[in-house]
Amino acid sequence: MGKDKLKRFAEVETFNNVIQPDIKNLDSNHETKGFWHIKFGNSNPIILELGCGKGEYTVGLAKKFPNINFIGIDIKGSRIWRGAKTCIEENIQNVFFLRSKVDFINHFFDKNEVSEIWLTFSDPQPKKPRKRLTSPLFIDRYKKILKKEGVIHLKTDSDLLYEYTLDEISSKNYEIINHCNDVHGFIKNNLSQKTQDILSIKTFYESIWINDGKKIKYVCFSGIHNV
């Protein structure tokens, strides 16, 4: 492991906006479950980004919506370090980062505690559809924490994951709120100005993919509690 990564691991331990639970105790509920309003010091809506990487989307959303609380979740502490450090440097108060696998999400959030979930450039898992973050396995986990009117956003460069998600939405009769197969192209004009503004946030790798000619897809849906 490189010196820079070791330095980040050590530094992230000191950040008060990062929660790193002991993985040995993840068979039980974490102390934050049901009490995120205390961590944030308010009862504002909570939005999660699952598999947040360096937190670019979490931070970008938090800047646009200071009256909403955001939590970026990723298993890699060296990735979380970047987003958490940016929030400290820029005094962004409405963000926490949680180091955990998405599989354990129900140990950290209570029923109706989450308003929205963002899935940004998730692994499409070409050989393991069950592990896709829009598979029935994960949707069932989201049901246990998402408000009844809550929504799920998927932003992806993967045709496979985009089409799979649309098929799941159709087969389960979920409600599509928005979808677009080229969010940075002319088709984006079908989206509201607010949605276009949100989707204008770009991660580092997203910018590279766009320059390489890849189209970025987006779908927003709700109604998972109706099934």
Name the token pair of 140: 């069932």
Q: Which two tokens stand for residue 68?
A: 């909403």
For residue 123, indicate whether it is catalytic: yes
Cα dist from 56 to 3, 10, 177, 209, 224, whole Å: 23, 21, 24, 16, 27
Looking up tokens 């973050």, which residue turns up? 133
CA-only gyration radius of the chain, Å: 17
Which among 12, 8, 30 has a CA at the least distance from the CA of 21?
30
From the list 22, 74, 103, 123, the catalytic residue is 123
- Distance linking the first and last C-alpha atoms of the chain: 46
Nearest to 210 by CA among 188, 179, 178, 193: 188
- Active-site positions read 123
